[in-house]
Amino acid sequence: MKKIKNENEEPVIDLQKIQQEYAAAVKRELFLKIVAGDTKFIDKEKLKAGNVSISLEKPLLVVLLSFDNRRKFLSEQDDGMGYMLHKYVLQNIANEIIGRRFTCECIDLNHIQIACLIEIDNKDALKNNIINEIKQCIWDIQNNYREHFNASVSGFIGNVAETPDRLPLTYEQILRLASFRFFYGFGCVLTCEVMQDLKGGFDDLDKEVSHITGFIKTGQLEKLVEAYNVFSQNLNVHTVRNARTAYLYIIFTIYKELEEIKKKSGFEYKFNILSYQRIILEKETIDEINDEFYMLFDDIIKKQQQHRDQKQHMIVDDILEWLHKQYADRDLCLTVIADRYNISVRRVSDIFKEYKSVSISKYLRDYRIRQAAELLETTNFTLDKILKKVGWENEKHFYSVFKKEYGATPNEYRTNFKIKK
């Protein structure tokens, strides 16, 4: 039988949950004070009261575990419960795996990060393999977490702080290090070594970007992607901020190039520069930005080619119509046609041959031959008059071409046609 709730009944208070949340808040506050160097009033009793197992008497190292694809991660945890479950599981996995080798505390730092404060024995602090051991711990954490949620986290390892007063610097470094996931992608494990020998600026950004926009102008997709890849692969020697700035510069330069192309050829591409600026600033990794650029390049070149094909098709149709009207003009030639359309002789010849699979000269010659044959069938005009009407200048050459085409001389062709008729 279903129990009817009494409106006057006191709400049930989950004391255990309140205690857990309070303990987590105390631990988080202690952690933030420790990494801020504010350890003057933190003694063993306060650490014990906060259920913190580490001491401040040994070297410490901070590891940051960050949920990948944070926008997707947070959007999928709208009810809050899924989000709490993710953090709870990751925190427990990290505590268990790192705790097998080191004394550590893992703290729910914010929406997308778990921080681990690891105590290092004095005798181990200077060992080269200490970082490798921690790397292996992070790889184990990643694999274990992936088995539970089919999702990934990235790990960032700070430098060892010999004394508590060194922690603020190492914590600041690791927060900066976390931004370098931008270059190394989701699921990476990074140490502070990746931030060494970074360049302060670009040697010749304009030259690199001009290669990219130059291939947009010529419509060469393969070379465009190749030039872009060279540019993109060289970015990881810069800061993340400078890399994003370089991407923003590319977007602005592409916008200007498309405007120039529009003025010269009439090709108009609807390019939302603000949308791409937002993408560059919001995407977490360089791979995500690269995918956006690849799609952009493919779309620009494809639509540019469609515009070019449409324009060239219109030119060829107009050339054909004009040839059919002007074929009797003996001065008609490639130069005259090219001048009419304000393009080079080679270009007009290439365009025509691409669509008709024959040169303009041969097409015009064949058309004149067909018109001459029709006049031989339907009129009593002399051959000289027919040659003038079809724009043919050399009678001897006409005889040769006509016989090759129809297997008879013009007079034989006319006689045979009359007999058949």
For the chain, domain boundaries: 16-195, 205-308, 327-420
pLDDT category at 191 given cuts 50, 70, 90 is very high
Q: For residue 42, what pLDDT band results from cuts at 50, 70 and 90?
A: low
Kindly state the tokens that stand for 62.
Answer: 């901070």
- What is residue 312's three-state secondary structure? helix
Q: Looking at this protein, which amino acid is placed at residue 269?
A: Y
pLDDT digits (tens, 9 = 90+) for 80-109: 556 678 888 898 999 999 999 898 888 887
pLDDT-derived band at 14, boundaries 50, 70, 90: low
Q: Give the confidence band of 3 by pLDDT, cuts at 50, 70, 90.
A: very low
pTM of the model: 0.72
Supply φ then ψ for residue 189, to 5 degrees: -130, 115
Range with lowest mean pLDDT among 107-116, 154-163, 174-183, 260-269: 107-116
Was domain 16-195 assigned CATH 3.30.70.270?
A: yes
Element (H, E) at 150: none
When the candidates are 3.40.190.10, 3.30.200.20, 1.10.10.60, 1.20.1250.20, the CATH number that belongs to 327-420 is: 1.10.10.60
Residue 51 has pLDDT above 90, yes or no: no
- Residue identified by tokens 């192309």 is 261
Statement: residue 300 has pLDDT above 90:
yes
pLDDT at 47 (0 to 100): 64
Which structure tokens are listed for 412? 């034989």
Q: Which of 328, 333, 322, 325 is nearest to 390 (CA)?
A: 328
Residue 290 has pLDDT above 50, yes or no: yes
pLDDT higher than threshold 60 for residue 389: yes
More confident residue, 413 or 112: 413
Name the one residue in this structure whose structure tokens are 């494809």. Answer: 302
Phi, psi of 245 (to 5 degrees): -60, -40
Query: Average pLDDT for residues 5-25, to the nearest whole number?
Result: 58
DSSP state of 186: T
In angstroms, how far is the first alpha carbon of the chain from the final one? Answer: 106
Q: d(Cα 23, Cα 42) in Å, to the nearest integer?
A: 16
Q: How does residue 302 score in pLDDT terms, banded at 50, 70 and 90?
A: very high
Closest CA to 66 of 195, 196, 174, 198: 174
Q: Out of 38-42, 186-190, 247-251, 364-368, which region has the weakest mean confidence (pLDDT)?
A: 38-42
Q: What tokens appear for 95 in the block?
A: 């505590």
- Comparing CA positions, the residue from 99, 37, 33 lying closest to residue 63 is 99
Which pLDDT score is estimated for 17? 60
Q: Which residues pair with 67 in a beta bridge?
A: 153
Q: What is the mean pLDDT of the chain?
A: 85
Report angle CA 70, 75, 77 to the nearest 5 degrees.
100
Q: Residue 39's Cα: distance from chain center in Å?
A: 46
Q: What is the pLDDT of residue 31?
A: 74
CA 126 – CA 178 distance, rounded (Å):
24
* pLDDT tens by residue, 234-286: 888 888 999 999 999 999 999 999 999 988 888 889 999 999 999 999 999 99
For 318-365, write each residue's pLDDT tens digit.
999 999 999 999 888 888 888 888 888 998 899 999 888 999 999 999
Task: Determine what percent of the chain is predicted with pLDDT higher than 90.
Answer: 42
Q: Confidence class of residue 15 from pLDDT cuts 50, 70 and 90?
A: low
Assess whether pLDDT exceeds 70 at residue 152. yes
